[in-house]
Amino acid sequence: MTTSQSSLGDKPVHRIGFGAMQLAGPGVFGPPADPDACRAVLRRAIELGVDHIDTAQFYGPDVVNDLIRETLQPYPEGLRLVTKVGAVRDEHGGWNAAAEPEDLKQQVELNLRHLGVERIDLVNLRRFERDNPGAQEPPLADQLGALAELREAGKVDLIGVSNVTVDTVRTAIETVGIGAVQNPFSILDRSDAPVLDLCRDHEVSYVPFFPLGSAFGGGGPSSLAADPHVGSVADKHQISPSQVALAWLLAQYDRLLLIPGTKSVAHLEENMAVLDVDLDADDLTALEQVGPVAVGH
């Protein structure tokens, strides 16, 4: 059976955490329609053993971090809060890059304030290398240097990188040392396998986003449900195709951590039950035949 424990950098964590992005309103903008339901999901996540919550100040903006603080403070001992920096929202909900070193420092300060903590366990530098490879970005060394200064000041414990190429991961490992990489990866989109391999080589935690494939690129739960190999494994274990996809991810690397998000307690419980799924060698062989869906970056 899949082990339930792993690590985020040097910190022990449950292998299934919680991604808080969906707790904001539509388009990850504004407040949710039912804040009480969001609070119920956060409380139930903690009851089920979640000790790793992934958030960002630009979810809302402000909305999600405020919900987390209002619902969970005083925070349970051992709860790891992870955020990301490098973007801001405009007044219409648009996403804008804001990744100069001073921008990153200001965003970390906002996260500290809204989460109500003195130090954040891990801050991911969110770049645009994969979804907008032609974009002009500040020099990576300057960005990592700014986060390293915050780490030295005790405001950040671990540095991570997100939405990046294998070369950026290698540079970050060699220059500042990183606790995690957060990139798109799923049974339907394995294009990030070289980064996952590099993380294995250096024992760096790996956190996939779009773990069910990206609906923007033709993936997602509907593609999983339509795949006969996923379907056969789902029928064998009496679980959903999405649970098969999450269990497959956990089988790839013992430091791979999941952060599925939801506004539903029932869906949260379904996600957490993936740790009880024991994929055997025949299952994994069958799932290797799943045809990847090309996802644009």
Q: Decide if 59 is catalytic.
A: yes
Residue of 59, 75, 206, 253 with catalytic role: 59
The H-assigned helical ranges of the chain are: 35-47, 63-72, 101-115, 140-152, 166-175, 193-202, 221-226, 228-237, 241-250, 265-272, 281-287
- Tokens found for residue 248: 């497959």
- CA 291 remoteness from chain centre: 24
Instruction: State how far the Cα of 70 lies from the Cα of 43, in Å rounded to an integer.
Output: 11
Per-domain boundaries in the chain: 14-218+256-277
**What CATH superfamily classification does 14-218+256-277 receive?**
NADP-dependent oxidoreductase domain (3.20.20.100)
Tell me what pLDDT residue 278 has: 95
Instruction: State how far the Cα of 7 lies from the Cα of 184, in Å rounded to an integer.
Output: 19
Instruction: State how far the Cα of 267 lies from the Cα of 273, in Å rounded to an integer.
Output: 10
Tell me what pLDDT residue 1 has: 55
Cβ distance 143 to 104 under 8 Å?
yes
82-130 per-position pLDDT tens digit: 999 999 999 999 999 999 999 999 999 999 999 999 999 999 999 999 9
Tell me what pLDDT residue 219 has: 77
Report cis status (omega within 30 of 0) of the bond before 74: yes
Instruction: State how far the Cα of 24 lies from the Cα of 33, in Å rounded to an integer.
Output: 9
Residues with pLDDT less than 50, the chain:
295-297
- Tokens found for residue 95: 């996403």
Tell me what pLDDT residue 215 has: 62
